[in-house]
Amino acid sequence: MDEKMDTQEDGIMKATEELKDMECNDVDAYGDADDLEMGDEARDSLQELNSELWDRLREEKKSQPSMFVSGWEEDETGLEPGDPEKDSEKFLTAAEHGDLATLQTMFGKNSNLLCARDRDFYTPLHRAAYNNQVETVKWLLSVGADPSLRTEDGWTVLHSASCWGAYRIVGLLLQHGVDVNCRSNGDLTPLHLAVNSAADSENQLTTIKYLLDTPGIDMAALNKAGETPLVLARRAPPEVSEVLTRYLKRP
């Protein structure tokens, strides 16, 4: 009798472990052990379970769901968004939020974090720039962050700042010697993006003026669709087109 109970207990434990490891393991979706895909030994053991034990197994899943996470769920919830505990993700997030204290502490321990990338290849400097974190951008540049690094779409930090109307950061980058005519994979210049920006009107116009005031600005640059910034400006609010037209008429 004792031997039989031990055997049954071993089978139950094995069944439980198999349930935890199954890729689709929603116990509540099954009526009984016959509906579950598992080994014969485990199924036989589950068939011997009375309704009370089967209910307990269901309750175990509800009370300790982390013990029954499938490999697919692990990918979806653990890997896709990025693990916030990883230093690179922490550093990127701190840059985006302007958390200088965290950035400085982490940089002191690992200066390579300046080159951290997210899955779209945005660097800490990109993240700070598009979120208009002026002091963070100043600090990142001061410790050697490279503004010429590109995203998956070939955007430099100046592209990001121009697109989001972060004119103070545009000014900082231009003072830092960044190429005002740098091209993305689609041959977009920062001016193309500024003209087509959805930023606040005042910020957009100021960004455009900063770019136009930079020596060597190419107002005739063509993107891959064959459009100049002025062509794009004709589809923008009237004041955008007026600014570009006025600069074209400069002596």
Give the tens place of pLDDT for each residue, 13-33: 554 454 444 433 344 434 444
Q: Are residues 214 and 96 in the same domain?
A: yes
Q: What is the pLDDT of residues 40-83, one digit of tens each?
A: 554 455 455 445 554 565 555 445 544 433 333 333 333 345 45
Last residue of a domain, one of 79, 114, 140: 79
Same domain, 31 and 107: no
- DSSP assignment of 4-35: HHHHHHHHHHHHHHHHHH-SS--GGG-SSGGG
Statement to judge: residues 150 and 204 lie in one domain:
yes
pLDDT surpassing 90 at residue 88 = yes
Give the chain's domain count: 2
pLDDT of 200 strictly over 70 = yes
pTM: 0.66
Answer yes or no: are the C-beta atoms of 129 and 157 closer than 8 Å: yes
Last residue of a domain, one of 79, 100, 124: 79
* Angle, vertex CA 159, rays to CA 195 and CA 129, nearest 5: 115
